Structure 1
């Protein structure tokens, strides 16, 4: 007798699955036109996110000497690949849409339209995925620090070789724990220690790090020694200057009493929380550096008690808004708010209240959308410029402006132009006249990030060219970053900047030519510029000037050889 096996399958379930499969595949054609309309806007949203990430990367790499993480670099590469694929799909758009019929619900070539529609649909999904992946907590990581910092040596003191050899041999003695040097002032104790410090750079040893600590005249220095907590409050008493920079201090819970403290360095730590009363008993504090605490998001209102404060550095923190109470810092002379990418609110009439301000830096921040209200970071910076005009002692300015309106208002002030050292421009319209920037004779860093910018205009008539050259207007310009200007075709105007050191051009997809090598500096970095046709690769000049080129691998492979063996273009 055989066994009988019965299998029951619902016809409705099979039919439902078949219909669902058919509808999904048919939607690749029926939704093709709608998806093609969505493609540019979704790409632009991704580009905006990419530009925000790049701002953080550029700051960490240039200012903090960090290296972008592999995760971020991989994401940027995938974004560039997606951008190239969207451009390819856009080229095929007209040809494929002409195949559609019946109001776009069918096609004269179903196979072709199905495959193309599927690519467009998958690309929209990819753009969405990339946007979601962009929430990086850290975009760069610290480079391994040298275990020894080389220090300059006073060349006037001689005759220390025998003493040096004796001390060096003691350092190699496992039984010697402490070595003391003594003598009257000027005999060379500091020079000897400097020689020993520098010797560690060239000699293999078992030390992880060599620390130079100076404690004299009520000075407390504990830099880069791995502290996770601040020194006990008893050690703060009587100290005039203190540096705790470069450690891993996360919280400042205790409330020190240090009436004579004038300088406090807490930068490059891991600060997350500062007790609200931490600054209460520091009436003499003149210099406070909280920069590069990447997790510090809140500024205690008690900072307003620091009425003697002259220098405040909050750059590279996560602080989101500045309190009105900062107006109490009437003696402030230097305020650094650079690369605070989370900062979105600065109360109106706060900046202008610092009437003694000489140095002011505000860039790399967010712009608040909506009506201006009580925030100078609403709009594009027009109200910020208006407040800067009130600072009659201003000598050095680093600023970020968004839009032609804010830039126009800024360019009307010869005073602001003359003291500008760093300028970040974004949101510009189709063109920008290079001649409008000639008043900034002390400009060293220029960053341009403008999706709509197509032309950096130069009037090439001999009179205008001669005028620009004789004014020496760009002679101070050392670093130029141009990124996200997808319509910009060249950066020829850089020939007027003879002292350039670094040129970084990223994600300028229509860029065709950069600059001739004779005007180049030490570094040219070109990333994400698929339309680039010419690079200034005169290898004889490159060798003589020691110029470093950093370009996409695929770009070098695709560039055709011109005038071999000297040029690639």
Structure 2
């Protein structure tokens, strides 16, 4: 009975389901028209909802800078699909409605009508469902801030090592702020782009913010760029004060680990005032900035080890960059072009901006003659003829010039372009010319004026407009020099005529001499000046380093404003023209390294003369009596290695009440002793002394030189009889002898056995010793031991930068113990075969980059204190090539 009941129940279920199915299938055709009408209405309402929702999304995205919610985006995608499907069915509906019969309850094609009716019912339900889900209170939100935005950046040449160095600073938790500085156009911004993009391409926890400072309102500009990056920028933001903006920025960045990449700052940037938290060990944030100014880097980050100078490209990489811009096809058009291209690259001196600009300009030049012209133009500092140079490159570089503090700084900068390309300019020489030209303030004494001049030089170095060669010399990058000459050429106030280093053989001609204010013909091959110089506004004339033999008497007749005249390094020039007396405005006269045999008495008319340089005029035999004393305003008199004995005019010198600087030579001990009795003001003026050809003295007491309080340079040359320089305790106990001494040169002093006295020159920077055949040790431990209680060697060589030892056959020891050399840059040891040990250990230079030059055979035989010392200095060696 149970089985019968079970079967009966199953049959009932089957019959019911079949009935329902039949009824359901019948309903699709019966409700087809009704469902179609309903579908059209529902689709219209869904389209209206979609349109309204899209308008809300557009407002949020376009005006409020928001990002649509994912669920809203998904709903819109589904709504679009459903509406499309519904529209397609509605389009097909007429042909199915026509097949209906019996009042719409049956169809002539029941199967297809049933299927279509089922599709209509399904899509109708989907439309209804989409309408119910289309009610959103919020359609968008603030987008998540990406860690870094990709910045456009071309492939770079020569910056890879800098990118890695900056990246190492970013990974170093002890480095919070780091500066990138260098010449305009050297690639600092490109480097910062590379850093930004490395952030973009790697995994890290930083919020990376890129901002460009500006000279005008830099804090506000950076604040606005930060606001855009972190989502604060809106209409309300614009109306806020600087402090309010700072507060908003601080509230967000305070809790974030950020990396601020700050491009092109020109002065100290106050991070705190801008609302940027100072990077610390706790927040592990970073600030990386670029600047053309070294002083800005020091103000932002006083630890110079954390600042990076971007240098110009070496020759190989420079040519590679140039080739990229000019195209290899152009370089292969003719066999001569490649060689000429190398000359063009050399003139660009590794500056990427110049290589790129001139490379593009030369890309269409296919003949050697065009390239020869380009080389000629660049060598004449006339690069503005190239497309893009005068309108793009120079103005970009000129911005550094425009940002100098005032016209005085700008004039001093332009003055440097008078020197030839790659010329190493002596700082003191440059400053003395500025003083002669009247470019500096009026000062009560020469020392103050020189200090101002050196301050300006430092500022030009900081602005990367001059390059520091060493403590005493600077140079000008070739492209910066060209830019300076371009500025001077465009100026209405200052007109330059510069043909230095052109290999000229004759005096050049110009159309408008009357406009020229400064003229330089340095480093040429001019022998005769036989045409009158008619330059009524000329103030500086550089004629140094020529082959001058004759200057006509009337040459200077029409240069009444001339203040600076440089005739130096003309060894064939034996006589000055008497017409030099016409230079009534002259303040600066440089006759050093000339063949002048006598000074004309007519020089007495130079009543304004403040600077007279007679150094190394070895043939000078006569200076008229009362000539030197007639220069009543003379401040600088240089007579070191002058052929005319300095002491012959010593009495006249004592009447020069403004004399501040004197360089002088002594030929015997009696002259030196006499000089020690000079009045105090006279002895205080002595900056450099040469002891030359001492033949009558075996010993020299330190007392004779120690009284010269401002002695900077001391030379002992050809003192054949000199055996010893004695150290007296009483003078060492006194004012601190040789306190100002910076440079010592010893040459051909064959009987000297040591130079221990230099241990009492605490600020010695340069020590050069050559051809002293009897020298056995530099510093005698025994001699110092006798005055050990005076602690004379407590700072031995602590300021030394250069040590050069040449041809010292018996030299065995520099010093018996290892010494710290915190500032040492170069040691050169040549033909000192017995010198086996150096006063070095692994800690001597404290990470300072030291170069040790010498013969390879000598280097192999050096005996090191220990293995760690050998390893430390192994990379320092550089073979010396004679």
Give the TM interval when normalised to the shorter protein.
0.5 to 0.7
- Greater CA deviation, 540-549 or 338-347? 540-549
1:305–1:164 distance in 2 versus 1, CA, 3 Å? closer
1:88-127 to 2 correspondence within 5 Å? none
Q: 1:452: how far off?
A: 2.5
**Structure 2 length normalisation: TM-score?**
0.40
1:156-555 to 2 correspondence within 5 Å? 156=266, 167=357, 170-175=360-365, 178-179=386-387, 188=396, 190-191=398-399, 212=482, 213=485, 214-215=488-489, 216=491, 217-222=493-498, 223-232=500-509, 234-366=511-643, 377=644, 380-413=645-678, 414-426=680-692, 427=694, 429-449=697-717, 450-460=719-729, 464-467=731-734, 471-515=735-779, 519-520=796-797, 521-536=800-815, 541=820, 545-555=824-834
Asked if the contact 1:505–1:525 (Cα under 8 Å) also holds between the matched residues in 2, the reply is yes
Q: 1:182: how far off?
A: 7.1
Q: 1:323: how far off?
A: 1.4
Please give the alpha-carbon distance, in whole angstroms, between the structure 2 residues aligned to 1:179 and 1:396.
49
Please give the alpha-carbon distance, in whole angstroms, between the structure 2 residues aligned to 1:164 and 1:271.
36
1:192–1:459 distance in 2 versus 1, CA, 3 Å? closer
1:552–1:170 distance in 2 versus 1, CA, 3 Å? same
Could you tell me which residue of structure 1 aligns to residue 64 of structure 2?
Answer: none
Tell me how many residue pairs correspond in the alignment: 392
Please give the alpha-carbon distance, in whole angstroms, between the structure 2 residues aligned to 1:345 and 1:296.
15
Please give the alpha-carbon distance, in whole angstroms, between the structure 2 residues aligned to 1:262 and 1:167.
35
Please give the alpha-carbon distance, in whole angstroms, between the structure 1 residues aligned to 2:819 and 2:401.
44
Please give the alpha-carbon distance, in whole angstroms, between the structure 2 residues aligned to 1:399 and 1:544.
29
Which structure carries more relative contact order (alpha carbon 8 Å, separation 6+)? 1
Please give the alpha-carbon distance, in whole angstroms, between the structure 2 residues aligned to 1:348 and 1:306.
21
**Aligned to 2:651, what secondary structure does the other structure show?**
helix
**Aligned to 2:512, what secondary structure does the other structure show?**
helix
Measured on the aligned residues, the alpha-carbon RMSD in Å equals 4.1
1:251–1:233 distance in 2 versus 1, CA, 3 Å? farther
Q: 1:163: how far off?
A: 9.4
Structure ranking higher in helix proportion: 2
Asked if the contact 2:673–2:704 (Cα under 8 Å) also holds between the matched residues in 1, the reply is no
User: CA-to-partner distance for each residue in 1:218-249, whole Å, 9 max, x for gaps?
Assistant: 42232323433333154322322222223333
Please give the alpha-carbon distance, in whole angstroms, between the structure 1 residues aligned to 2:353 and 2:773.
63
Q: 1:564: how far off?
A: 5.0
**Aligned to 1:351, what secondary structure does the other structure show?**
helix
**Structure 1 length normalisation: TM-score?**
0.60
Please give the alpha-carbon distance, in whole angstroms, between the structure 2 residues aligned to 1:515 and 1:493.
8
Could you tell me which residue of structure 2 aligns to residue 11 of structure 1?
Answer: none
Q: 1:332: how far off?
A: 0.6
- Greater CA deviation, 293-302 or 224-233? 224-233
Please give the alpha-carbon distance, in whole angstroms, between the structure 1 residues aligned to 2:660 and 2:184.
31
- Greater CA deviation, 415-424 or 426-435? 426-435
1:541–1:173 distance in 2 versus 1, CA, 3 Å? same
Please give the alpha-carbon distance, in whole angstroms, between the structure 2 residues aligned to 1:555 and 1:275.
56
**Aligned to 2:758, what secondary structure does the other structure show?**
helix
Q: 1:330: how far off?
A: 1.5
User: CA-to-partner distance for each residue in 1:449-488, whole Å, 9 max, x for gaps?
Assistant: 322222211124xx65332xxx243122111112232222
Asked if the contact 2:672–2:704 (Cα under 8 Å) also holds between the matched residues in 1, the reply is no
1:49-64 to 2 correspondence within 5 Å? none
- Greater CA deviation, 166-175 or 432-441? 166-175
Asked if the contact 1:410–1:416 (Cα under 8 Å) also holds between the matched residues in 2, the reply is no
Asked if the contact 2:805–2:832 (Cα under 8 Å) also holds between the matched residues in 1, the reply is no
Asked if the contact 2:185–2:397 (Cα under 8 Å) also holds between the matched residues in 1, the reply is no
Unaligned runs of 5+ in 2: 1-182, 187-263, 268-289, 293-350, 366-373, 375-384, 403-420, 422-463, 468-477, 781-792, 838-857, 871-882
Please give the alpha-carbon distance, in whole angstroms, between the structure 2 residues aligned to 1:235 and 1:270.
26
Asked if the contact 2:810–2:832 (Cα under 8 Å) also holds between the matched residues in 1, the reply is no
1:537–1:162 distance in 2 versus 1, CA, 3 Å? closer
